[in-house]
Amino acid sequence: MQHLVDVNCLSRDDIFKIMADARAFKKQMPPKLLDNKLLITLFFEPSTRTRSSFEVAAKRLGASVVHLDPTRSSTKKGESLEDTFANLCAMAPDGVILRHSQNDTARVLADMELTPIINAGTGNLAHPTQALLDLFTILEHFDGNIEAKRLTIVGDIANSRVASSGIRLFTKMGLNVSLVAPKPFMPETELKNFEDLDNVLDNTDILMSLRAQLERHAKPIFDDYSEYAKHYCVTKDRVEGRDFIVMHPGPVMRNIDISDEVLASSKSLVLEQVKNGVFVRMAVLKHLLLDNG
Ligand code: CP
């Protein structure tokens, strides 16, 4: 049984195969490859993009999807996560797509070996399908030539599962990753890291902005995010005359992470990332449920 707990569950061959399948699906919708499959989505944290993207991906491939809303489930009556999961698995789904606030939840449920676990974001540790769709978007933009391309990640990197999975995947695939953040948002890292965004913009091919993960801050880190934005917002002034593309996993804090003007410009691939997410998740579902099922 293969799970997708994090990007390190995938070999380079797996990653290239997922990218190739996603590219083929974007060119032409495939037949209903997962016609007789049933997936359950179990999201203990809010989501706009990931949950709907997985549902669209599954349905495009002909699978059925059942959503369990934990706020209206028996976890509210004290049932443990493991018992909730075991009860869902007794209904014989072909996989469970999980989002949870704790870092180890996907691993714990995967180790029960009841059904494939597909991690849709856990804690500040892992968001493998976001990393894969970001990689796909970068590969597509640079026509596959990404070796040594300079990716700068700016924002609340320390609390971001997108950054955590992304850094593991991007460095494995040959990107040259640098981090930019104020000290409270900078993780322990061996990567090149900077506090001043303006000093790295001339050495950047891809600028990936991340929001402040306010829900994961034990207490407020900055009182005034408009002050933070003066230093870290991707504005027209910072973009003009430069050649990099701008990415963000969403949700975007407008005019704090990226300005309205830049979001509306051709530099921004933010909605292309969302579009690509469906094809990449279709490829991930095929990989887990069909190729390795
Ligand atoms: N990028 C991302 O994980 O967005 P959602 O929280 O809306 O799923």
pLDDT at 85: 97
List the residue whose alpha carbon is closest to atom 3 of ligand 1: 50
- Tens-place pLDDT, residues 29-45: 999 999 999 999 999 99
**208, β-bridge pairs:** 153, 247
Atom of ligand 1 nearest to the CA of 51: 8
Q: Place domain 7-127+274-291 in its CATH homologous superfamily.
A: Aspartate/ornithine carbamoyltransferase (3.40.50.1370)
Residue keyed to tokens 């003009």: 240
Q: What is the pLDDT of residue 292?
A: 85
- The two three-digit tokens of residue 68, written as one number: 């369990």
pLDDT digit string (tens) for 151-196? 999 999 999 999 999 999 999 999 999 999 999 999 999 999 999 9
> Considering Cα of 288, then 289, then 290, then 293, what sign does the dihedral take?
positive
The runs of H, that is alpha helices, within the chain are 12-27, 49-60, 81-89, 105-110, 128-141, 161-172, 225-232, 236-239, 260-264, 270-286
Using most ligand atoms within 8 A of CB, pick from 42, 44, 49, 127 the residue to mutate for ligand 1: 49
Closest residue by CA, ligand 1 atom 6: 47
| CB-based pocket (< 6 A), ligand 1 | 47-50, 121, 130, 249-251
DSSP string covering 73-96, please? Answer: SGGGGT--HHHHHHHHHTT--SEE
Q: Which CATH superfamily is domain 129-269 in?
A: Aspartate/ornithine carbamoyltransferase (3.40.50.1370)
Is residue 158 a contact partner of residue 179, using CB atoms and an 8 Å limit?
no
Say if 7-127+274-291 and 129-269 have the same CATH topology. Answer: yes
Residue pair 133/280 in contact by the 8 Å Cβ criterion: yes
- What are the domain boundaries of the chain? 7-127+274-291, 129-269
CB burial readout 199-225, b (16+ within 10 A) else e = ebbeebbbbbbbbbbeeeeeeebbeeb
Distance 51 CA to ligand 1 centre (A): 8
Read off the pLDDT of residues 198-243 as tens digits, 9 standing for 90 and up. Answer: 999 999 999 999 999 999 999 999 989 999 999 999 999 999 999 9
pTM value is 0.97
